[in-house]
Structures are given as structure tokens and as C-alpha cells.
Structure 1
Amino acid sequence: MQKQAAIKVKQQFPLIIKRLGINGEGVGYFKKTVVFVPGALPGEEVVAEAKRVHPKYVEAVVKKVRKRSPHRVKPPCPVYEQCGGCQLQHLTYKQQLVEKRDIVIQALERHTNLKIDELDIRGTIGMDNPWLYRNKSQFQLGEGHGKIISGLYSLNSHRLINVPECIVQHPLTNKVTQVVTQILNDFHIPVYNEKTGKGIVRTIVTRVGIQTGQAQVVMITAKKELPRKDTILAEIKKRLPEVVSVAQNINAKKTPIIFGDETIHLSGKEIIEERLEEFTYELSARAFFQLNPILTVKLYNEVKKAAALTGKEKIADAYCGVGTIGLWLADGASEIRGMDIIPEAIEDAKKNAAAHNIPNAHYYAGKAEVLLPKWLDEGWRPDVVIVDPPRSGCDEALLRTILKVKPKKFIYVSCNPSTLAKDLQMLSKAYEVAYMQPVDMFPQTAHVECCVLLVKK
């Protein structure tokens, strides 16, 4: 058998881009080797240059576009090519929705043996205006030209790109982050340096209630002591009347994870409020809440549609966060039991249920794979289980529990097609995929959310 010729670093070669990869990069094949090319689009013919050669694939860059995609556009953001935040600003929005559905299909092809051509995979639900939608920013701090800058790391590096105005962020998050950065500059507060481990402030996390206009700032620090704390708080109050909640979170570890375990309330309220249709939610500093409120309403309505409740069903809501999905469905259920491992989120969920006078929603701190079997033993069996897990997907113990509990319906809300596909493969022992509905929660990025209805075989 003839041995396949190896591709060498810096080698240039022609490449036809077949589809978009899970991270938004162009995917093509050269000498039977898969090649990933950021910035290249499906249908394009490019000259690629190999940057990194791995045993099973090659990472390359575009040297020249010989044949352009009709869907290629000029990205409107001035730092788009340097910043790692967005991956698809160079692709028309209409086509982004098409490619995101294909990203879901690719994950199913890779991780399942489901018959994909027999599945009902619907067109991606998108936004009328796919900009200025994010209600939360987490901007790292660093130094540039002798002053503090805030921004995002360049792709696959720790080079900080100054982002004074991010066009996918809600304008108020940009304003608050920039003013707080300026305050830290004015009072010469030392920023944390990853290499030396010296300095104090690492990250500014800003969240806004888009419907309420309230803003919350969390300063992530490497130490508990925050120099000139009272002066900083007084300046935030003076310069940013929209900020109604300020907190400090301490993260002394050398880690890419933003939040540490200890959060200290510094001034104003401990929460901000956000409204989604008739619901108002209280959000504490670390509580999970969807980043795109406009599409969240569409996503939750898809969950409601999938659940098709009659008023008699018992619902288990795993990874429930502050109770957003459960409260959305409460009027059609006899009882909802939500669970999450973050105690503060459960406290917020209880307050949210009480505030909306929803007596049939109950919330518990703990793991779903522990609580569900306990409830089963007590004689409480859910008709519908809903999960909205983190990017890592469902805990395997939870999936085993689902296969044991066997609710009639299982609704999976996913933010990661790869872990979704792996979990669907395991669930396919007892469940059929009724349909999949991709939702574009994060326009201009390669991320795609998906609502999947599974029914018991």
C-alpha cells in the first residue's frame, strides 16, 4: 500500500473548502488529510499554508483566495481579525444560519450512529438585528502603552487585544467596562500579571438588564485587598448611575477560569433585575443567565412547544440556574422541581418563583443524578425532564439516571453540538429524536444552541 505523502510546516497547497468546522474555520482535504483554515468559507478555493501538522489533521492559514464565496462580506469590527471573540463576521448573516445547522449535522455524523437523513433538523432560528445583543462581558485587564487596557485574548494566545467597543455587546456593557477601566487607571490600581503573579485586578465582569437598564460590575481580583476600594466605589457611583450593584470576586489561582469561590458584595444591591416578557428575574453576580435575552425568549418558547403541556405533568428541570426555563413552563405543569449545584442560583430561583406567585415550582441545591433517584424512591416520577447543561454536556451519571427514570419526554437544550451528539448517542438506547431546532444565540460566532425533543421508544 502506498504511503500517504506528509504535509510539511510552511508548505503551500491549493484547497477547496467543503464546510465550516465546529469552531467556525473552513474545512478542506489535501492528500486525504483534513485541513482546518480559519477565515476560509465553504465553496472557496484558496491557497493554504500549513502552520501546525498533527498526526490526523493540519492547521493552516489562507495565503490567497482564488475563488471567493458569494457569501463573503467585509467584517465591520476593526479588531475582528486579531480578537478571538467572533469567528463569522466575514460571512453574511443569512448564510451563518445555514452553516450553523450544518455544524449540528457534523457533530451527529461524528459522534452518533443516528440516521441523519431521517432526522427532522429544522432551519436555524436567528435575529432580526444580529449585533449589540450580549448582556454580559468578561474583559481581561492588562497594560498597553503605559496604561490599563481591557479586552479579549487573541485566538489561541495570551496576547490581550484592547476592545474599547465590542459590536456584539450591548452598548451599556461597553460603557461600564470602559469607565471602570478608566477609574482603575486614574487611581493607579495594579492589574494582575499572569507571568509574574503580581498585581491585583484581573477581570471586569459587567452584566446589564437590557429591559431594566440596570448594570452590575464584578471586579475579579487576585487578592482580597483592593487598594483605594472606597474611592473606586465612590467614582463608580458618580460616573455610572446605571450601576446598581458592585461586587468583588477573589480568584488567586493560576487558571483560565474567571470566577473564584468567594464573592464579596461591595455596594448597591446584591442583584440586578432582567425582564423576559412577563417574567422579572433577580440575578446575583455568579448566577447563570442566557447572554442573549431576545433569542432566549424564542428558545424558551421552543422548549414550551416541545413540552406541549396539558396542566397535569410533573417536570424535572436539571441545571435550572435561576429557574428561567421552569418558570416559563409553570402555568402548564402540575409541579416543577428544579435543581442546580450553585446554591446562590437556587436561592435566586426560589425568589423568582415567589415573586411571580408560582407555588408549583420548587428548587433544590444538589446534583440531578442524586436528587432524581431519591424522588423516585419517594414515589415522585417526572413526566418531562428538561436539561440545559454547561458546554461539557450532561453528567454521565445523570444520563444513566434518565435511562432508569424513563420520563415520557426528555428535552435537551444544548450550547455545544459535540457534547449534545455524544449524549444523544447514549440516550438513543431508550429515546428517539422527534426533532432538533437550532437557535442562533450567538450571532457572528461559531456557537449554536439547539433544542431537542426526545420521546420514549
Structure 2
Amino acid sequence: MNINVKVGQQFPLTIKRLGINGEGIGYFKKKITFVEGLLPGEVALVEVVAAKSNFIQAKVVRIREQSENRIKPKCKVYDICGGCQLQHMTYDAQLDFKAQIVKDALNKYAAHIPSDIVKPTLGMDNPWGYRNKNQFPVQMKGNKLIAGLYEKDSHRLIDIKKCPVQDKKTIQVTNEIRKILQNEQVEICKNPNKDHGLRYIVTRVAKHSQEVQVTLVCTDDRLKHHAQLVQQILNISFVESLSININKEKTSRVLGDKTIHIGGKKQITETLGEFYYDLSPDSFFQLNPDQATAMYGEIEAQAGLSGDETVVDAFCGTGTIGIWLSPKAKEVRGMDIIKEGIADAKKNAQLNERENVHYEVGDAYVIMEKWIEEGFKPDVITVDPPRTGLGMKAVDLINRVQPHTFVYTSCNPSTLSKDLAHLTKKFNVVNIQPIDMFPQTAQVEVVVKLSSNNV
């Protein structure tokens, strides 16, 4: 049905459900309408901001009937920042919504899997201050250096000095650093294609040791010669590591390929459960260590290890999952095409004295073929791929190897469900556990246990 709707038009709308990005969804004359900031059951006067052939995008003019799940956001810039999507929603309602996202994705892409298998979302006791890392772009606004996040769908930088989802130490250190940078009149890069200077302040805290790691992302290495600046940053409380990362590219990628250590420790040490991890500035690590511990515990439970199993941690990154599983496995092997990640995985295995863990650099398909030819067949395979999912090549590999247990950890219910639709040719879905790794946002992690249907 072609509905004639114009930008600027206003009409009342009842919200029926939330979309995958946390936006309210209603229907105007049967045409789907998306409105950020509204909750199911709410009635609002909305104004059209975009009218497409198959949907309407609108903004809130006035809420007429509020949901009982609506609360006041903690963040003063919540409505413009875009970093969080659900601060206006009670935490219990957030958890229910995230389980529903998973069910909706299954119904859409893998309808043969019953949605009632999805368990309630595993949440946090305190869903605030959990992020252990921030990556703030910097900019001069008049004579003032600002750092923060870009307003959603814009190039306007929001100056952020407080953030309720960020660990307080990362924010405190960032605020101290920008005072030092401004006092030292450090040059700020406006355009990496033309200019040079500082682009980002990156701070990461190890929650267990409370050590803070600072990385200044620049177009070149000039700041390493600024001895006074280096010493002032290292004098900030809790700062134990300082590096410069070189990134001249005009992309959304924060870190470039080259990192230069210029003061303090080269790495900081974090703990998950009983395991220790040395973190380099460019090492990947979970942004929510407390909830990562819960997630890895869930992966361990789903794997159901007794001590006799061989395990493959495919696409293993820095090896955190494989190392976590290793005490209850006979042998763990992992592979990844990123050599820096494998180097970190080997270091972490050595740090934790895990002699039954082995890592190799290379394509998963090639490495797996080699291992099988050598007589090694995994009893359990675990994966934690990027948001794009496994893809058909990896799905075909898993189906062909067909371990008795496959544990799939996903950060995207849609690509997970698409993969499950094909994996269920060789596996049965036993358990689906959503986990809230990023409270106040629309993101959800999912741990799925599949068992071979050839057992």
C-alpha cells in the first residue's frame, strides 16, 4: 500500500515492539514506523523525518502515554550521544528485550528451531561502569581541547567528561590527559590526509590490578620526543603504560598497524577467573571483564568437558576461550589468521602455564585439514566470530568435521540464526543462552550449544 506521508507531518503512534537497535516500532496506516526513544505500549505524537517506500522514520514530539518501564537516563547527553540506546528503560525490561531479539531472529531466519529454547538473558548485578576501555577522538573547539564521541549520524564531537557506562578510572585519566595536552599545546590533527598531530586518546583499565594503559593515536611519532609530556602522563595516578599508535588513514578504524611503547610497562595485566592476561595496546580483550567471566563460565558449562576431550578454539583471537577451557580438556588447539593475536594467545598460555594448549597462525580450513590428516579430530569446537557470523565456508567446515559438541558464541542474533539454519543439517540445538555484555545498549551476546545428530 502506497501511503502518502510527508516529512514534517505529525500523527499519533502506538509502539508495538522494539527493533534490533532499540528503536520503537509502530504502524501508521499499516506502514512500519521507526521512532528512537519510545517503548512498547507508549503512545506518542511523532513527526516524520524520512518517508521511504517501505518504512517511515519519525521523532518524538510528545509522549502521551508512558510505559511503566520508562525511567530517567543517567547520562546528560544520552539523547544525542548514540553510545547507548536503552538508558530510558528499566534493566529488567532490557533483559527481556534482549531475549526477544534472539527469539525474533530465530523466527525470521531459522523458524524450525523453537524459540522457547531461548533462556532468560543473563544480566549484571550492577549494569553501570562496566566498560574497561574508551577511545575518544579529540578536537579543538576554539581554544579548548575536547574529547568524546560523535553525535549519532553526524561529525559533531560531543565533549564527554562523565560516562555512566565507562569505568571511572578511564574517564578520570582521559580528563587529566587532555588538560596536559592543552597546556603543552600539542597539535591536534584535523584531517589525517593533510595534517599531522593527535587523533585519539585511548585508555584501558585492568579491573583486577587497576593498572591503566594509555595510547595516543597520532599521524606520526613526534610526541615520543616530548619528554615533559610523557612524564606528566606517567605521573597520573594508576597510569602504568604509555604508547603511541601511528594511524594516518582516514577511516573509522581507531588504531593503525604500528604501536611504539614510550614509557612505563609495555603491557598491563588483567584477570578473568583464575587466569591472567597481559594486554598490549593493540590486543583485543573483552570490554566488560566481569560479564566476560560469566560468559566464559557459560561456554564451559555448554562444552560439558570431563577432562578427556580434545577441543578446537577456531578463529581464536588471543586465546581467552581456549585457555579458559583448558583445565578440563585433554588438549586445546586454536588457530587464527591474525598473527599478532596468535602471538598474544601463546604468551597468555605460557603466562598461565597451560601446557595442553597449542596455537597456530593460519586459515582455519587449511589448519583443520592438516590436523585431521595427522589423525586429530576434535570432540568439541568453540567459536566466537565477528558480527558478520561464520559464513557458509566455516559452516560447511563445522558440518563436515561434525564434533559431538559445538559451542557457538555470537554478538549478532541475525547472523547467528542464519548460520544455525544450516548448522542444524548436522547438529541439534540444545541450549540458547543470551548474555548481557553491554547493558544500556541494544547489543546482546548469545551462547549456543549444538550436539551432533550423528551420535
- TM-score for the superposition, normalised by structure 1: 0.95
Contact 2:106 2:113 in 1 (8 A): no
Partner Cα distance (1:57, 1:191) in 2: 41
Deviates more, 1:66-75 or 1:336-345: 336-345
Distance 1:109 1:192, change over 3 A: farther
Paired residue for 1:286? Answer: 282
Q: 1:132 aligns with which of 120, 129, 133?
A: 129
Deviates more, 1:267-276 or 1:5-14: 5-14
Distance 1:227 1:190, change over 3 A: farther
Paired residue for 2:80? Answer: 82
Partner Cα distance (2:349, 2:192) in 1: 45
Q: 2:338 aligns with which of 337, 342, 348?
A: 342
May I ask how many residue pairs the two structures share in their alignment? Answer: 453
Paired residue for 2:188? Answer: 191
Partner Cα distance (2:348, 2:38) in 1: 45
Paired residue for 1:406? Answer: 402
Q: 2:92 aligns with which of 94, 102, 105?
A: 94
Contact 1:192 1:202 in 2 (8 A): yes
Paired residue for 1:163? Answer: 160
One-letter amino acid matched to 2:412: N
Paired residue for 2:119? Answer: 122
State the percentage of identical aligned residues.
46
Distance 1:346 1:155, change over 3 A: same
Contact 2:224 2:244 in 1 (8 A): no
Q: 1:318 aligns with which of 314, 318, 322?
A: 314
Partner Cα distance (1:290, 1:412) in 2: 17
Contact 1:284 1:344 in 2 (8 A): no
CA apart distance, 1:189: 1.3
Paired residue for 1:178? Answer: 175
2:37 is aligned with 1:35: no
Paired residue for 1:389? Answer: 385
Partner Cα distance (1:379, 1:250) in 2: 44
Deviates more, 1:160-169 or 1:49-58: 49-58
> SS of the counterpart of 1:447?
coil
Contact 2:12 2:46 in 1 (8 A): yes
2:234 is aligned with 1:254: no
Partner Cα distance (1:253, 1:426) in 2: 38
CA apart distance, 1:195: 8.6
Contact 1:4 1:31 in 2 (8 A): no
2:181 is aligned with 1:152: no
Residues 340-364 of structure 1: per-residue CA shift (max 9 Å, x gap): 2332222222122122221101112
Partner Cα distance (2:337, 2:242) in 1: 24
2:353 is aligned with 1:357: yes
Q: 2:233 aligns with which of 223, 232, 236?
A: 236
2:210 is aligned with 1:218: no
Q: 2:305 aligns with which of 309, 312, 316?
A: 309
Residues 57-109 of structure 1: per-residue CA shift (max 9 Å, x gap): 22211111111000101111111111111111100111111111111122223
Q: 2:42 aligns with which of 19, 40, 44?
A: 44
CA RMSD of aligned residues (A): 1.7
Contact 1:121 1:437 in 2 (8 A): yes
Paired residue for 1:445? Answer: 441
CA apart distance, 1:27: 1.2
Contact 1:283 1:322 in 2 (8 A): no
One-letter amino acid matched to 1:175: Q
1:54-93 superposed matches below 5 A:
54-93=52-91
Distance 1:135 1:195, change over 3 A: closer
One-letter amino acid matched to 1:53: A
Gaps of 5+ in 1: none
Paired residue for 1:22? Answer: 20
Partner Cα distance (1:35, 1:71) in 2: 21
Partner Cα distance (1:367, 1:220) in 2: 30
One-letter amino acid matched to 2:403: P
One-letter amino acid matched to 1:282: D
One-letter amino acid matched to 1:108: L
Partner Cα distance (1:137, 1:70) in 2: 33
Gaps of 5+ in 2: none
CA apart distance, 1:143: 2.1
Partner Cα distance (1:6, 1:409) in 2: 53
Contact 1:249 1:259 in 2 (8 A): yes
- Runs of 4+ that moved beyond 6 A: none
CA apart distance, 1:377: 2.0
CA apart distance, 1:196: 7.3
2:123 is aligned with 1:113: no
- TM-score for the superposition, normalised by structure 2: 0.96
> SS of the counterpart of 1:226?
helix
